[in-house]
Amino acid sequence: MSLPARTEDLLAHRLTGLFAEKGLKPGDRLPPELELCKILDVSRPALREALAGLEAVGMLATRKGSGRVLLPMDFNTALVGLAGFVPLKDKRLLDLLFIRQLLEVNILPVAAPKISPKALQRLEEVTQQIEEKAQAGEFFADEDYEFHRLLYSGLGNEVMNGVLDLFWSTFSRLDPHRLSHTQRLDETAAHHRRIFDAVKEGDIRKAQYHLDAHFYDTAFAVSHYEEKPSEDQATL
């Protein structure tokens, strides 16, 4: 038995259909609220709630002097818009990591052969940057993000990119000093080196093995993450 859809969800769906019927394109201004209420036969509070939902996922924007305008809509934008709603201590962060692990490890055999020579060269450069930062005791979240994006760049898969962006937008909110693998930067860097070397050699099974191991290491770090007050707060 399926659950009934929420009224605001149904209205948001009707709104997107109406935008398509009217031929609205990214950058176009939406019709006035009263006009939309009349066309859809809904109250103004209900309309505003549905519009707020579309704005939250990045489909609309309110601009001074222009009112609401339609934005370019893609899967990445919608998913990243959800990142701010995932509590850092919530189990959903680990659930998201688990889904990402399943996707990346199992899609790698399809993605690796499609990595362009240019992307492979950049992947090697990023791997070296990760190693250099690890040796210097510096965090390398930006390089880590680029590393994984490059692995799947040949697919041009919007959903895959959206999942990666959703995870990194959420993960970037964590304080790296609170992660349990803070003192194992060299080990995390070694995971990336092994993955890259295996991909470059064309040994996909080996690359999958090391990618899987990397995720288990990250999952351990995230599962033991604890937010702590800063030293200044502790002395208050």
Task: Give the pLDDT confidence score for residue 220 in this predicted structure.
Answer: 78
Q: Are residues 51 and 87 in the same domain?
A: no
Q: Are residues 104 and 213 in the same domain?
A: yes
Report pLDDT digits (tens) over 186-212: 889 999 999 999 999 999 999 999 999
Q: Are residues 88 and 118 in the same domain?
A: yes
Q: Which domain holds residue 206?
A: 77-223
Task: CATH number of the domain at 93, please.
Answer: 1.20.120.530
Task: Give the pLDDT confidence score for residue 31 in this predicted structure.
Answer: 92
Quick one: tokens of 96? Answer: 């998201």
Residue 228 counted as domain residue: no
Side-chain half-sphere exposure of 217, counting CA atoms within 13 A: 18
Residue 149 counted as domain residue: yes
Task: Give the pLDDT confidence score for residue 198 in this predicted structure.
Answer: 97
Q: What angle do CA 66, 70, 74 make, to 5 degrees?
A: 150
Task: Give the pLDDT confidence score for residue 86 in this predicted structure.
Answer: 55
Q: Are residues 101 and 38 in the same domain?
A: no
- pTM (predicted TM-score): 0.65
User: Which of the two residues, 215 and 235, has the higher pLDDT score?
Assistant: 215
Q: Are residues 68 and 20 in the same domain?
A: yes
Residue 22 counted as domain residue: yes
Tell me: pLDDT of 229 over 60.
no
Quote the mean pLDDT of the chain.
81
Q: Are residues 39 and 83 in the same domain?
A: no
Task: Give the pLDDT confidence score for residue 73 in this predicted structure.
Answer: 66
Q: Are residues 40 and 88 in the same domain?
A: no
Report pLDDT digits (tens) over 134-192: 999 888 988 999 999 999 999 988 878 877 887 877 777 666 666 655 457 888 999 99
Q: What is the DSSP string of the chain?
A: -PPPPPHHHHHHHHHHHHHHHTT--TTPBPPPHHHHHHHHT--HHHHHHHHHHHHHTTSEEEETTTEEEE----HHHHHHHHHTTS-TTSHHHHHHHHHHHHHHHHHHHHHGGG--HHHHHHHHHHHHHHHHHHHTT---HHHHHHHHHHHTTTT--HHHHHHHHHHHHHHTTS-GGGSTTGGGHHHHHHHHHHHHHHHHHT-HHHHHHHHHHHHHHHHHHHHT------HHHHT-
User: Which of the two residues, 235 and 70, has the higher pLDDT score?
Assistant: 70
Q: Are residues 102 and 135 in the same domain?
A: yes
Q: How confident is the model at residue 2 (pLDDT cuts 50, 70, 90)?
A: very low
Which stretch of 33-42, 78-87, 204-213 has the lowest confidence by average pLDDT? Answer: 78-87
When pLDDT is averaged across residues 43-58 and rounded to a whole number, the result is 86
Q: Are residues 52 and 161 in the same domain?
A: no
Residue 231 counted as domain residue: no
Q: Are residues 186 and 104 in the same domain?
A: yes
Q: Are residues 21 and 115 in the same domain?
A: no
